[in-house]
Chains A and B, each alone.
Chain A
C-alpha cells in the first residue's frame, strides 16, 4: 500500500460532537469500531446487500460498509447505541424485545435503524411499506415474521 492518505473529519455521533483522523479508504464502519468502540453497526456481506452495517446519516439509513468515513464530515450520525435515552430503550428497541424480533441478533441493529427511518416518514406504515423499507435488510436466521410484528408494535408504541 502506498503512502497513507488521511484527513481530519468532524461530525455529530449519537448527539455528541466528535472528530477523528481517518484514512481516505476507510469506511465509517471501521472508524466507528476503531475510534469509538461502537460495534452495533457490523460488517457481514461487505457489499451493500445485507444491511447489518446500517447507520443513519442525517436521518437516512446508509450501508456503513460502503460509506467512506471521509464523507461523514459535518454530518449527523446515529448508530443503534445512540437510541436509548437515560437508560431507557427507544420504543423501537422495546418493540423488538417484546416481539422477539431476532434470533442471533447480528442483523438486529440494522433492522432497528431502518425501522427508525421508516417510522419517521410513515408513522402508520402499511404492510407493503414495511416490506419495502426492510427489503434491504436480510436476516439469515429468518426471523422475518417476528421482525414485521416488531415494526408494527413499534409504530404503536411511538404513537402512544
Chain B
C-alpha cells in the first residue's frame, strides 16, 4: 500500500472576517479538467506559426575541447535548409552571448570551446523538421580535444582540467558576489556554515561516525519535451512562446542579452506538460530568439526526449558526513562536506548548493555544526533543480547515517531521531529560530502508520524483509517576489493575472480558490490568465515549493484590493457604510439585506456595462542575507518544510529483486488550500517506486 498523510492544522477561520472559509481548504477538481481529457488543452508543444522554421541543434560529440572549424556546407546544400546558425552569427546581434541565472557562463551556441557532450554548437533552420534533422547531422565540426573531468571531487582538486577561465557571477543573487573574478578553479561556489565550535563538539562525543555517501544524476524527462518558439514582433520587438517555469526571468535575461528594455520582449507560456525543475530560468529561449531575429521569421526549437538528457539533470553529489554522538544518542557535532556535480554550466546549481546546503545537518538540534558546500564545474551536462532543489541528496546522506548510528548505539532509529529533533522555538544551525516545523508530529504519524512498535517479520530463507524511516527538511527559497493582479470586468466577471506556471501542480485551481475566497465567488467562476509578460505581473519563478505561499499571498492581496474598491463603490451606491458590506455569492451584501451583484457595482461605477476594476498585490517576505564567513542569518527562510517517509521492502536474495511492499509519506504542510491536490503532489515520489 502507499499512503500519503497530511498532518492537519486545526480548522482556521479567515482572520480578517472571523468567518468560516468557503473555498479555501476544500478539495476540488482542477479548473482545466475537461480540456485535459478532451485533448484541447494548450501546450506550447502544439504551437505552429505561419512561415515558421524548425530549428535542429548540432551537438558536440566530445566532452571538452577547442572548436577548430565548423563546416556547414553540406547542411546548407540540403533542399529546404534556410540557414545554419553558429556562434559567429549570434555575435552579430549579441556581442556577449553568455547567459544564466547564477553565472553568466553559458554561451547561446558554443563559442571557441565545448564543455560537455551534447553542447549546442550550431542550429539548422529548415522549413521541414525532418530536413532540419538530417541537415543537422551533416554539419561537421573539427575539435582539438582537452582532458575532461566528470567526478565532482576530482574536479575540485588541484590539477584538474579547468572548465571556465574565470568565474562570472550574474549579480542577481547577492550571495554569489564574493566569487567574482576567481580564476584557475572549478569550484563555482563555496558556501559555508559554522555554528558553535566543531572541535569542542567532537571532543564531547563518545563516538564519532564518518561516512561518504554518493548520489547519481537523475533526469527530469518531462513528457512535454522542452520547446520554445520565438517570433520577431514588429521592427523592435520579440515574442517568445515557451514551455518555461520562469517567464519573468526569461524576459529580463533575453532583454539583457539583446541590450533592449524589458518592455520590448514578450514571453508567454501555456500549461506545461511537466516541469519538475527542468524548465527553469532559461533553456532554449535565447537560441530561439537569436535565430528568429537573424532570419526575421518565427523559429521553433523543440527537443526530442533524448536531447533533454544533454540539457539539464539533477546534481549527482558526494557527501562526506562526520557525526559525534554520546552513548545515549545525542548528536554533539556534525560536519558535512558536500561536492555538488554542477556539470559544465552553472545554471541554478550554485543556488541549489547554497539553499539546500545549509540544511545539510538535517532537522536536528545540534550545537556544533560545520557545513561546507562546493558547487563544482565538471564536463557533464549542466545540473539544476529537480523536485526538491538539492534536498534529497542530503537527506540520503544524513538519514542513512542516522540508521547506522542508531544501530551501532543499540537505539531504535525512530527514538534516535526523536532524541535529536529540532523543536519549534530552537535555533537552526543558520541561527534562524524555527517555527511551524512539527518534527515530532511527523515522527509520531510515521510510527503509527508504519506500526513501528509491532514486531516485524524479517523473513527467512531467500526472501528477507526490512523497513526504515527517514525525515528531511527544506527551507523555502528566499528572498523572492510575486506580484498578481485581479481584474473585474464590466459584466462583473473576474480574472486573476499571474505569472505562476501550472505544470501539473494545480496552481491555477489553488490560486483561483484564494481569489474566490476573498471575493465571495465560486472558484470555477474565477478565470486564471496564463503567464504573458505583456499582461501578467512579475513572478520570480514557479520553483522550490514557493508558489502557493508567495503567489497565493500576492493573489490574496490583489483580491483584497479589488474587494475594497467594489465595497467602496457599493457603499456609495447604497448609501451605507463600507464596514456593513461583504462580498458573498458573487455579490456585495449589506447587513440590512441589500444586494448589488458585481455587475451592478460596475454599472454604478461606469454607468454602463463597461470598465475594469484592477486590484494589485505583491508579496516579498523579509530575509537576512547570511554572513558569507559563517552562513549565519537570523532570518534565512520564510518557512520550513518537513517531510517523512517510511518503507517496507522485500529482497529476494537469489535474484536481487527488491519489492517495496509498503510506503508511507507524511508531510507537515500547514493549511492545505486544496487538500486533494496537496496529496497528489506528495504521492508521486511515493507511487513511482510503489510495488505492483
A interface list, Cβ under 8 A from B: 1, 25, 33-34, 38-42, 44-47, 50, 52, 79-81, 83-84, 89, 93, 96-98, 100, 102-109, 112, 131, 138-146
Contacts and interface: CB of A to CB of B under 8 A. Distances in A.
B131 interface: yes
B272 interface: yes
Interface in B32-68: 32-41, 43, 45-46, 48
A42 to B, nearest CB: 6
B37 A112 contact: yes
Contact of A144 (B43, B78, B690): B690
B37 A25 contact: no
Contacts of B130: 1, 25
Contacts of B166: none
Contacts of B29: 97-98, 100
Contacts of A42: 43, 45-46, 224, 273
A34 B130 CA distance: 14
Nearest to A103: B504
A50 B80 CA distance: 31
Given A44-B223, A46-B304, A142-B683, A105 B38 contact: no
A1 B80 contact: yes
B232 interface: no
A96 B37 contact: yes
A140 B223 contact: yes
B221 interface: yes
B687 A40 contact: no
Contacts of A38: 39
Given A47-B305, A97-B29, A146-B680, 20 more contacts: A1-B134, A33-B46, A34-B48, A38-B39, A41-B39, A42-B45, A42-B46, A42-B273, A46-B304, A89-B34, A100-B33, A100-B676, A100-B680, A103-B680, A104-B223, A104-B271, A108-B37, A140-B221, A142-B684, A142-B688
B41 A105 contact: yes
A46 B688 CA distance: 22
B397 to A, nearest CB: 24
Interface in B211-236: 220-225
B305 A105 contact: no
B273 A106 contact: yes
Interface string B669-681: 0000000110010
Given A1-B80, A141-B274, A104 B34 contact: no
B500 to A, nearest CB: 15
Nearest to B133: A1
Contacts of B32: 105
Q: Which 3 residue pairs across A and B have the least CB separation, nearest first? A: A40-B39, A104-B504, A106-B273
Interface residues of B, number: 52
Central interface residue in B34, B273, B684, by most chain A CB within 10 Å:
B273
A105 B273 contact: yes
Given A1-B78, A46-B305, A106-B274, A100 B38 contact: no
Contacts of A83: 38
B506 interface: yes
B687 A79 contact: no
Contacts of B35: 105
7 contacts: A33-B48, A38-B39, A44-B273, A96-B37, A97-B37, A100-B30, A105-B36
Contacts of B43: 39, 42, 106
A128 to B, nearest CB: 9
B620 interface: no
Give the residue among A34, A47, A100 with the most B Cβ atoms within 10 A. Answer: A100
Contacts of B223: 44, 50, 52, 104, 106-107, 138-141
A47 B36 CA distance: 23
Nearest to A40: B39
A155 to B, nearest CB: 16
A104 B680 contact: no
Given A97-B29, A106-B43, A144 B687 contact: yes
A79 B41 CA distance: 14
